[in-house]
Structure 1
């Protein structure tokens, strides 16, 4: 799964990789070592063939939620069932997004009260983004909020000892397919990357607050 991640963007590379306006990337894709659920995250969406960077709440809000806390916090959507779940199926078909990242943190369960944190980042500098889905939620008072979830898949064999699931990664050559710019076929992208795609650094977790200054 994915519950904490980081983004350390290089502006020029982000603009080139995602083909988004520089002013949007500069304003929204900001450096952060510890991105958590309910925080705003930068997402890349495609509208009429034009890509934009849009801030969204990490925590998908189904249409029937009357409040932002009106049900379970939906930060992940399983690739195996995303097309069937009432909360996600419409977004899966029509509102897919890319979530730029530099890597994520995962906690390996070692026992009833023991966990070991790992940092996972792309092993090569070829780029990649989390696969996401999004939608605009409207509250009873007319308040609107755009929200998203990260799609997950089964872990590759080399990482199953850390966690059974991984965030789904979309590589640059498949961005257009995931965003719907090349028609149908996004379902074929819902599989873990090849073994070795993620580089693992054990015992590296998010910075503690007392380490920030």
Structure 2
């Protein structure tokens, strides 16, 4: 799964990378501990124009009466995203890309302590997570007031499988247009794990176990 990530690219750099027009209310960057239910930047495409927009991480299906009316849907499994009622319409009509610099995953030691790892691309390029989105709004205290998003995950292979059985779907630049629906059908073929050698990972300090932790030190390799 993907439950935390980092994004360090400035808004203008993200917009230029994806050829998108940035909104003026994007969440602040850099952020080294992006958590569910917070705002993230996402790339959408409509009528030939891409936008970089803020979205709440945690897709809220249209039938939810409040954002907490059911499970927190931060991830959507690639194997079932086209079939699950909460995701299938979004998978067909509302695919997007969530930029990231890297993400965190956890293993456990013999005593059950959670040991965090940071995963990023081997080539140093930004990551582009495949994602889907859904507008949701209700009047009242729990009003979300905007789009919500879930990151698509798939079975891990190669390096990632050593620390977790799931991984975000990381799109290559040549695949962005197809995922965004700009090049016809075939998006389902993109929901695959990273190729061997595409990512690298290292242990980081346990400070990131807290969703309140912040700062560049969170992604620094743990000293032996």
Q: CA deviation at 1:186?
A: 0.4
Q: 2 CA distance for matches of 1:182 and 1:75?
A: 27
Written as runs of structure 1 = structure 2, the 5 A alignment for 1:38-187 is: 38-111=37-110, 113-139=112-138, 143=143, 144-187=145-188
SS in 2 for 1:54: strand
Q: Which residue of 1 aligns with 2:5?
A: 5
CA-atom RMSD in angstroms? 2.4
Q: CA deviation at 1:153?
A: 0.5
| Structure 1 unaligned residues grouped into runs of 5+ | none
Q: 1 CA distance for matches of 2:53 and 2:152?
A: 18
SS in 2 for 1:91: helix
How many residue pairs get matched? 212
Q: CA deviation at 1:109?
A: 2.9
Greater mean deviation of Cα atoms: 31-40 or 192-201:
192-201
TM-score (structure 1 length as normaliser): 0.90
Q: 1 CA distance for matches of 2:6 and 2:159?
A: 22
| Contact 1:119 1:204 (8 Å CA) reproduced | no
| Structure 2 unaligned residues grouped into runs of 5+ | 216-224
Cα 1:170/1:95, change in 2 over 3 Å: same
Cα 1:67/1:124, change in 2 over 3 Å: same
